[in-house]
Structure 1
Amino acid sequence: MVNDEELIEEFGRDTTHLPNLGTILIVEDDPRMQKVLYRIFSEEQYSVLVAGDGQTALEMFRQAHPLAVVLDLILPHISGRELCNMFKQVAPETPIVILSAITDVTDKVLLLELGADDYVTKPFSPRELMARVQAAVRRRNKPAQATVYHFANCEIDFKKMTVLRDGKSVVLTAHEFKLLKFFTENVERVLTREVLLNEVWGYNFFPTTRTVDNQILKLRQKLEPDPANPRHLLTIYGAGYKFVP
């Protein structure tokens, strides 16, 4: 674990007198990358905590309740993938931005389905990373919506992350909840795949829009009375999708 005081002593720059925009938890085992990330966020007036392994990161996350997390995938003790899932179970609203040299599309999709808010590939632009983290925080800080939403025979509690359909429990992944919430916040609005990728997945660019199609298909199978003839999650051909309660 690396704390502010140790890094301040090494860099010779004390930012404690500056306004604090919140705490960013950096989970990274490479000491050189720790220093780079510390500098990027501290210079923007964030308080920074740095953990070099998964177990330490989980303890710090529970104690500090950070504004956002920047998470590497290859870590000692607990993998970044497992840690992402654990973080979201503890505090599903906390933004998590993956920062990794792994470029495999399958891994990216899996992490996003586990609840990660964005994925930045190493080597990275500091400005891009900062923009992605700040965008994820802004999405989290949108005005609070009702935590329980009803449509047709479904009851969704977004705070508890539970779904009832005809009174029976339905299991959704963290990312399915995220997609469904965005639809409920944009009732009757036609949403393009690109908008959904950017606003829900946090991606400005993605190799294939089939990711959106597949996720909506899963939601239909779980929530629609007749998934083959949906009444609520509608396809608007040539445009995108629309949610009708």
Structure 2
Amino acid sequence: MNRMMNIQELLLDDVGEAQAAKPELGTILVVEDDPRMQKVLKRIFMEESFSIAVAGDGKTGLELFRSHRPVAVVLDLILPQISGRELCQTMKSLSPETPVIVLSAITEVVDKVLLLELGADDYVTKPFSPRELMARVQAAIRRRKRPTQSAVYRFGECEIDFEKMTARRSGVAVVLTSHEFKLLRFFTENPERVLSRELLLNEVWGYNSYPTTRTVDNQILKLRQKLESDPANPTHLQTIYGAGYKFVP
């Protein structure tokens, strides 16, 4: 089955004002100049009980961003008055914690890299799957709501400084890759919680990477070799057979 968005189908059953979303989930700001796409996105998010604010140009988008304080922004790149790139940078300077998910037909890697440098939290290419877009937005909102964690985290014989990206075990420096730091941070933010491989792929690698679940196994094996005193019998990065992995401080 083709999971890509069928605009005609989504437009057939428009969402009226009487079906407005429950406001307690917060407002998602959609900045998109195509009225048909506005309608599609409005329905996608209202069906998940979000309130929606819609802007058709960059100037209005910035005004709504300031007045509505959205929980997330879905942003097109090609906009009248203020470009999507400039708008992304401005929004992030005003509110760094607000997730901005770029939605655009532009697929060049250089554009994706540039947007990440400007502060975008994710990048979804048109045409898209409504389910995938919703999952990415919800994941970005969850990351925003996580409690802040001290930059330095200690467990067992290890001391990890996530801000400086340094690691030590028994006082000896250990070299970790940026992705190993990212995976380890997610574990430390979710101690004692069983995390499936699929969840780790979505939260740590992101949908754009599309690695296999074997990627998770290989990365955790490397972390054990660097951080566990006995990698064959790990104390902290434990395997929960049939379910995934669990971090025990």
TM exceeding 0.5: yes
Q: Distance in 2 between matches of 1:65 and 1:201?
A: 28
Structure 1: runs of 5+ lacking an equivalent: 1-9, 157-162, 164-177, 189-194, 208-235
**1:48 lines up with 2:57 in the alignment:** no
Letter in 1 for 2:79: L
Map of 1:106 onto structure 2? 110
Q: Distance in 1 between matches of 2:106 and 2:58?
A: 18
CA contact (8 A) 2:102 2:123 kept: yes
Map of 2:81 onto structure 1? 77
RMSD: 3.7
Counterparts in 2 of 1:116 and 1:123: CA distance versus 1, 3 Å? same
Counterparts in 2 of 1:77 and 1:140: CA distance versus 1, 3 Å? same
CA contact (8 A) 1:95 1:117 kept: yes
CA contact (8 A) 1:26 1:51 kept: yes
So what's the TM-score if we normalise by structure 1? 0.60
Q: Distance in 1 between matches of 2:93 and 2:179?
A: 17
- Determine which of 14, 20, 23 is the counterpart of 2:24: 20
Alpha-carbon deviations, 1:24-56, whole Å to 9, x = none?
000000011011111111111100000111111
Map of 1:211 onto structure 2? none
Q: How many angstroms does 1:239 deviate by?
A: 4.3
Aligned length: 179
Map of 1:144 onto structure 2? 148
Q: Distance in 2 between matches of 1:32 and 1:47?
A: 18
Q: Distance in 2 between matches of 1:155 and 1:44?
A: 34
So what's the TM-score if we normalise by structure 2? 0.59
Once the two structures are superposed, the pairs formed by residues 59-208 of structure 1 within 5 Å of their partners are 59-146=63-150, 182=182, 185=185, 199=203, 202-205=206-209
Structure 1's consecutive aligned runs of 4 or more residues displaced over 2 angstroms after TM superposition are: 10-13, 15-20, 178-188, 195-204
Q: How many angstroms does 1:62 deviate by?
A: 1.2
Counterparts in 2 of 1:185 and 1:42: CA distance versus 1, 3 Å? same
Q: Distance in 2 between matches of 1:186 and 1:243?
A: 17
Letter in 1 for 2:61: A
CA contact (8 A) 1:71 1:80 kept: yes
Helix, strand or coil at the partner of 1:102:
coil
Identical counterparts, % of pairs: 61
Counterparts in 2 of 1:13 and 1:197: CA distance versus 1, 3 Å? same
Alpha-carbon deviations, 1:108-133, whole Å to 9, x = none?
11111221111111111111110110
Alpha-carbon deviations, 1:142-161, whole Å to 9, x = none?
12224x769xxx996xxxxx
Q: Which has the larger radius of gyration?
A: 2
Counterparts in 2 of 1:200 and 1:93: CA distance versus 1, 3 Å? farther
Alpha-carbon deviations, 1:58-114, whole Å to 9, x = none?
111111110000000000011111111111100000011110000111101111122
CA contact (8 A) 1:187 1:243 kept: no
